[in-house]
Amino acid sequence: MAENKKCELHDLRISTIEKELEKAINQIESIKERVAYNENQHAKLQQIISNFDIRFNAIEGTLNDVVQELKKIGNAVTEIKTRSDTNDEYIKEKLQSNISNVGFKQHIKNNKILYSIIVSLISLISYLIKAG
């Protein structure tokens, strides 16, 4: 009978150890599942970061292209303004030389309305060219 009690105690201990072992195995499985989930989430985050980098680089390239185009436009506007200013000076000189011509000068003196129209048109054209 003492021998039977010993066997029962051993069986009880073995059963307890088996339960603890089963619990530990379940915990290990749970940890493995969490690790796999975290690895999956990490892979997704890496893909998101990679996609962001690709898009950012594309946007950066596009912005660089826009900057280059804006520089070209700025240079073209500067060139047009310079030519416009040069043409304004040329037109003024031409008018001055024509006005100094006696026949034209006499005609303008006789026709002040024509003179005011010409001056107004020249001023308007100069303003439009500079504003444009």
Taking only the tens place, the pLDDT of each residue in 28-44 is 999 999 999 999 999 99
- For residue 39, being part of any structural domain is answered with yes
Residue 36's Cβ-side half-sphere holds a number of Cα atoms within 13 Å equal to: 6
The answer to whether 84 touches 130, Cβ cutoff 8 Å, is yes
The answer to whether 88 touches 129, Cβ cutoff 8 Å, is yes
pTM (predicted TM-score): 0.41
- For residue 61, being part of any structural domain is answered with yes
The fraction of the chain above a pLDDT of 90, given in percent, is: 26
- For residue 93, being part of any structural domain is answered with no
CA 45 to chain centre: 23
Angle between helices 112-131 and 2-100 (to 10 degrees): 160
- For residue 131, being part of any structural domain is answered with no
- For residue 8, being part of any structural domain is answered with yes
- For residue 55, being part of any structural domain is answered with yes
Structure tokens at 45: 């985050």
- For residue 101, being part of any structural domain is answered with no
What's the DSSP call for residue 101?
S
The phi and psi torsions of 111 (rounded to 5 degrees) equal -125, 80
**Domain ranges, residue 35:** 2-78
- pLDDT confidence of residue 42: 93
Please list, in sequence order, all residues whose beta carbon lies within 8 angstroms of the beta carbon of residue 87, skipping any fewer than 6 positions away. 129
- pLDDT confidence of residue 48: 92
Give how far Cα 14 sits from Cα of 8, 17, 20, 22, 126, Å. Answer: 10, 5, 10, 12, 106
- For residue 45, being part of any structural domain is answered with yes
> What DSSP letter does each residue of 43-69 carry, written as one string?
HHHHHHHHHHHHHHHHHHHHHHHHHHH
